[in-house]
Copies of this chain bind each other. A is one copy, B any other.
């Protein structure tokens, strides 16, 4: 597992380097104090995971993660910061970071974070996770949980994709009438009475 570090604080960079080089299944493939020549470096080093300081000289961490995400989508990025700057947290997550850890995170957690993101998962320190959670819980009206059956979800999904009753019936291999019936039930559960509303509600409430 190849790791690259971008961190301007010498002390902290060296401690990250130490953590990585002393770990059997990890290889430190690069360590930098700024984000200049970012793309060349990534191209040359081919890291699996990048540890990126959010306040780094050159282009800042958020722009850097965006650039990496756009040009090297297979490279996972884990952000690190001293402070829990709310807006930067969300900005970097939106920019494509897979993890977010505070710099007081103990070494074993750092390694855990690296492994999780390398495997395609995501890792947040609890306080960051809490912030993210809060962001969800702010949205009040989503509170109503709509219980759709599996079939109904399947049909709704296809409805959102823009398929007609006929096409859905064909796809699911049941009759047109069955689809009709399912959709009537879906509308009832969603409290809507048209395709448009159903699609809107499905997407907004992430029912699909």
Contact = CB atoms under 8 A, between A and B. Distances in A.
B126 A121 contact: yes
Given A137-B94, A142-B94, A121 B132 contact: no
Contacts of A24: none
B161 A200 contact: yes
Interface residues of A, number: 58
A129 interface: yes
Interface stretch (A3-11, A14-22, A31-39, A85-93): A85-93
A101 to B, nearest CB: 12
A126 B78 CA distance: 13
Interface string A190-207: 001111110110011011
A203 B206 contact: no
Nearest to A63: B145
B129 A124 contact: yes
A189 interface: no
Copies in the complex: 2
A126 B119 contact: yes
B160 A200 contact: yes
A200 B162 contact: yes
A160 to B, nearest CB: 5
A206 B18 CA distance: 36
Contacts of A129: 116, 121-124, 129
Nearest to A138: B94
A175 interface: no
Nearest to A131: B122
A127 interface: yes
A95 interface: yes
